[in-house]
Amino acid sequence: MGLFLLMIPLITVLLALVIKNRRLLHGLSLFTSALLFMVAIGLTKKILLWGQINEPAWNGFFYVDALSIIVLDIVIILGFLVSIYSVGYLEEDVRQGKIDEKRIRLYYILLYAFIFTMILSLTVKNIGIMWVAIEATTLASVFLVGFYNTKKALEAAWKYVIICSVGISLAFLGIIFLHLSSLGVLGKEQFLDWTALFAQAEALKSPLLRLSFLFILVGFGTKAGLAPMHTWLPGAHSQAPSPISALLSGVLLNSAMYGIMRSVAIVNKNLAGSTFTGNLLIAAGLLSIGIAAVVIISQKEYKNLLAYSSIEHMGIIAFSLGLFTPASIFGALLHMINHSLTKSMLFFATGNILHTYHTGRISKIKGILKRMPVSGTAFLLGLFAIAGTPPFSIFASEVNVIAAVFLNGRFIIGAIFAFLLAVIFAGIVFNMLPMFYGESADEEIPVQKNNLLGTGAILLLLILILITGFYLPNDLKELIYSAQRIMMGE
């Protein structure tokens, strides 16, 4: 089943190369994403029963445990919703003359190549192959960032590929040092095997392991959008097609953060504590949240604002990982899920807004609730959700993190963290609320009636983040607790 999961998107890419009819391409995409979704359900059930899947084929190439299945499920669930949203989105792009029909095929080829690379990065136990897959995500997604071939889109694509390639090169150096720390400890057949490295973590060479983590944090942190390596992210998120922005923010950043999580578990077990990694992660987290707070207050474009919000939330996850208590690890994993669902919903909504108003400037948009009652209402509620307002799910995970930091006795850091979250909330409300009321200067803008399937995906995500704000299914809790135990080395 595991290798089948990897083959599905590859076969879709090959089929998309020969299919020219756009309706068949839409159908192929929906079928593929639904098939991936069903396979993911089966894998998740097996993880709940057995704890891990380590298939013997290809020398144990395929490996999934509770930590990886959480991120993998996010990839596949959002990939499924993106495939639904993309049908109406692309058709509207063609109708408005933004793209021609031929580019729909290119879109789906790149989309499923992108999804394949993310699945690969999360289903291997060899950290070297994981690095290759995360680098491949850049190559697959850079053409999606520049999909519209505008000057700004191409500039964002170049910036994305250059900065992330430099970052991933640093991560490669970190992996080399990780391997050097294991010389004389692991056999050749265990080369960069995460399970073997974790099992023998106490025997690894600590100085090299510390150096390894520094490079891995900077390298994968660049791809995860952590400050000060975050500068590629606003341009890429704002210029990519809206469904791709949802994947970049809701999925790609998590895949890079996953690499950091694996490294944290090894280093902390080796050092018998989290002081070294914790100080670095807390500093990177607070810096990311602080930079996001400053920019969000003065932001003029709504997709850029959402991009800086992603930097904020990656900072929250890093900060929570740095605390490295059972409560904070639970909060980090829960926040990863909540942010992905909420931010994807918001980027879907921005797609509808762009198709109606044809601008990304906040000041040029008025009366969303009147002209787009469904998408506008969902977007308004989503903004309150992403800002951490109850009863939505992000409020629940942020409360978990705040409780963890104060229970750990770090009152000053906790106060700074809470203050920055309050500033970001104020910035989002102050900047974005004027979009929803008043009258647009262009009275000829039609009431939004496009992309009914996509609007359904928006509403589904809205329902999910509302329900999970006060109720978590037992199976999801068990997965998070299992992943927490993996991180803690229990």
Digit-coded pLDDT (tens) for 430-467: 999 989 987 765 545 554 455 788 899 999 999 999 99
Q: What pLDDT shows up at residue 448?
A: 46
Say how far apart CA 236 and CA 233 lie, in whole Å: 5
Neighbours of 471 (CB within 10 A): 10
Helices 253-271 + 102-122 axis angle, to 10:
10
Pairing mode, strands 63-65 and 52-54 = antiparallel
Instruction: State both tokens at 32.
Output: 């593929």
Q: Give residue 195's identity as a one-letter amino acid code.
A: T
Residue 444 has a pLDDT of: 52
pLDDT value, residue 441: 55
Q: Residue 36, Cα to own-chain centre: how many angstroms? A: 18
What's the rounded mean pLDDT across residues 230-239? Answer: 91
Give, in degrees to the nearest 5, the angle at Cα 73 between 472 and 89: 105
- Quote the mean pLDDT of the chain: 92
Q: In terms of pLDDT, which residue wins out, 195 or 28?
A: 28
Res 291 pLDDT > 80: yes
Is the pLDDT at 186 greater than 50? The verdict is yes
* Percent of the chain surpassing pLDDT 70: 97
Mean pLDDT in residue range 232-244: 92
Mean pLDDT of 74-84: 97
Q: How confident is the model at residue 57 (pLDDT cuts 50, 70, 90)?
A: low
Of 208, 116, 107, 226, nearest to 167 by C-alpha is: 226
The pLDDT value recorded for residue 58 is 67
Domains of the chain, residue spans: 2-488
pLDDT in tens, 360-391: 899 889 899 988 899 999 999 999 999 999 99
Q: Residues 200-213: pLDDT tens digits?
A: 999 999 999 999 99
